[in-house]
Amino acid sequence: MMLIMGCTACGKGKLAFELARRTGAEILSIDSMKVYRRMDVGTAKPGPEHRRLVRHHLIDVVEPYESFSVGRYVELADTVIADLQKQQRPIIAVGGTAMYIRALIEGLFDGPPADAGLRRRLKEQAARQGIGLPYQRLLHIDPAAAKRIHPHDLKRIVRALEVYEITGRCISSFHTHFRSGKFRHAWKIICLRRDKQDNNRRINQRVKNMIEGGLVDEVKSLLTEPKGLSKQASQAVSYAEIIEYLQGKINLDEAVEKIKINTRRLAKRQRTWFRSFAHVHSLDVNPDDTTEQLAEVIIREQT
């Protein structure tokens, strides 16, 4: 089984499709936002023609008002993998949601359950004192975790502090098994790597394509649905910014620029995550490399 990961907009989806088309494989999506129905443009889902030619799994599995967890993802993914293995069908997993990738290949995080009261207190402290102070505290108690967490990523900072207060252990100590290379399935992992400037250019083009492809109308339609959007869906990059625009908080040009900035930040976090993965074959991609050429390289290496 093959797993292709990489930063957003690096071309991993197109590569997975080309490989699947040539090898008769089916694609397992590893994306926390592509699971939502009707969230198509802003998540850069594969189009109907691609999905007709190659079967994709774990796309369009829940409604936008539903919450979705890494645990549920792994449960559904394991079912897909078991079914395809019974059929002796090749599997190509592809995505950039690092937490889902890690859980799929090495298991769920073995930490304590959330403590709602403690989490609320930590968030209130951050609101009063600023996010810099809790991040500095994390740097002091768990520098390994702080190195992996962006200083503005309040959700993960709070979780790391929560784990420490509940258990007296650093969250990084629970993650040590992730670097063991003990995979739950026989994955060959390939990480696409592009030059930062090249990837940023591709991000800008993707955002332009999303706007021209109807992202604003897509978000408008989602907001009119009776049950609305879940917190998870409404905070997704591309959706959160357009919601701000539709609420009159910013203009469209500002929303577009915020999408570009936040997508670049996402790519930076992804690069940090992927560097911590073990037993990964990195494939450096040049701006003029075609998807077909990359597929040829990978297929040649497999034979």
pLDDT tens by residue, 146-174: 887 888 889 889 999 998 999 888 887 77
Contacts of 148 (CB under 8 A, 6+ apart): 172, 272, 273, 276
pLDDT tens by residue, 61-107: 999 999 998 889 999 999 999 999 999 999 999 999 998 998 999 88
How far is Cα 101 from Cα 8, in angstroms, rounded to an integer? Answer: 14
Domain ranges within the chain, ordered by starting residue: 2-109+178-302, 116-174
Please name which of 59, 57, 55 lies closest in space to residue 45, comparing C-alpha atoms.
59
Pair of tokens at residue 105: 């290949």
At 110 the pLDDT is: 63
At 81 the pLDDT is: 97
Bridge partner list, 283? 192
Pair of tokens at residue 122: 């930590």
How far is Cα 62 from Cα 55, in angstroms, rounded to an integer? Answer: 18
At 301 the pLDDT is: 87
pLDDT over threshold 80, residue 303: no
The full DSSP string for 71-84 is: HHHHHHHHHHHHHH
pLDDT tens by residue, 14-60: 999 999 999 999 999 999 999 999 999 999 999 999 999 999 999 99
Please name which of 280, 285, 302, 281 lies closest in space to residue 22, comparing C-alpha atoms.
302
- CATH number assigned to the domain with residue range 116-174, chosen from the 4 options 3.30.413.10, 1.10.20.140, 3.10.20.740, 3.30.70.20: 1.10.20.140
At 234 the pLDDT is: 96
Three-class DSSP category at 31: coil
Pair of tokens at residue 143: 């520098």
How far is Cα 60 from Cα 254, in angstroms, rounded to an integer? Answer: 29
- CATH number assigned to the domain with residue range 2-109+178-302, chosen from the 4 options 3.40.50.720, 3.40.50.1820, 3.40.50.300, 3.40.80.10: 3.40.50.300
How far is Cα 111 from Cα 201, in angstroms, rounded to an integer? Answer: 38
DSSP state of 112: P
CA dihedral (114, 115, 119, 120) positive or negative: positive
Pair of tokens at residue 249: 């908080």
